[in-house]
């Protein structure tokens, strides 16, 4: 005979703790009722949901990201950072491409400190 979960309502939790033998409850057999078949007719009405639009945001290079940090903090000017003979440009190039430390872009304070030291180095 198949028992329902409600047949066990009089059995509460025990104070015996966990057991090594699992409790076996009988379950009913799966339903033999068939579901309807998928429709063979395709809809001629277009979907009202739009598809994803490609992002127009272009990923910036590490050098561009650091340049933005330095200009926003008023540490250097765009003019100095684009002048390839300036110590500021050389420091930006080094910290962006050659610095083995590779500071995370989110740590603008450390980037600025390291950049200032690099500017001093390239100024001498």
Buried b (16+ CB within 10 A) or exposed e, 17-31: eeeeeeeeeeeeeee
Dist CA 25 CA 3 (whole Å): 8
Q: Quick check: is 119 in a domain?
A: yes
Number of domains in the chain: 1
pLDDT tens sequence across 34-93: 767 766 666 667 666 666 655 555 567 999 999 999 999 999 999 999 999 999 999 999
- Answer yes or no: is 89 within a domain: yes
Q: What is the pTM of this model?
A: 0.52
Residue 51 Rama label (left phi>0; alpha psi -120 to 50; beta): beta
CA angle 87, 93, 96 (to 5 degrees): 135
Task: Tell me how far apart the terminal alpha carbons of the chain are, to the nearest angstrom.
Answer: 93
107 is a domain residue: yes
In a domain, residue 50? The reply is no
Whether 79 maps to a domain, the answer reads yes
Range of the domain at 82: 62-123
Q: Which letter, b or e, does each residue of 50-73 get, where b requires 16 or more Cβ atoms within 10 Å of its Cβ?
A: eeeeeeeeeeeeeeebbbebbeee
Asked if the structure places residue 91 within a domain, the reply is yes
**Could you tell me if residue 46 is inside a domain?**
no
Give one DSSP letter per residue of 22-35, joined into a string: ------PPPP-PPP
Residue 109 lies in a domain: yes
pLDDT of residue 60: 74
Instruction: Say whether 15 sits in a helix, a strand or coil.
Output: coil
Mean pLDDT computed over every residue of the chain: 79
């Amino acid at each position: 005979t198949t028992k329902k979960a409600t047949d066990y309502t009089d059995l509460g939790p025990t104070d015996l703790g966990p057991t090594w033998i699992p409790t076996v409850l009988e379950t009913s057999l799966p339903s033999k009722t068939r579901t309807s078949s998928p429709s063979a007719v395709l809809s001629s009405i277009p979907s009202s949901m739009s598809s994803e639009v490609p992002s127009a945001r272009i990923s910036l290079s590490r050098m561009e990201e650091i340049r933005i940090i330095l200009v926003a903090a008023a540490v250097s000017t765009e003019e100095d950072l684009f002048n390839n003979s300036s110590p500021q440009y050389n420091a930006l190039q080094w910290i962006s491409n050659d610095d083995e430390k590779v500071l995370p872009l989110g740590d603008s304070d450390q980037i600025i400190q390291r950049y200032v030291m690099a500017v001093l180095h390239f100024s001498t």
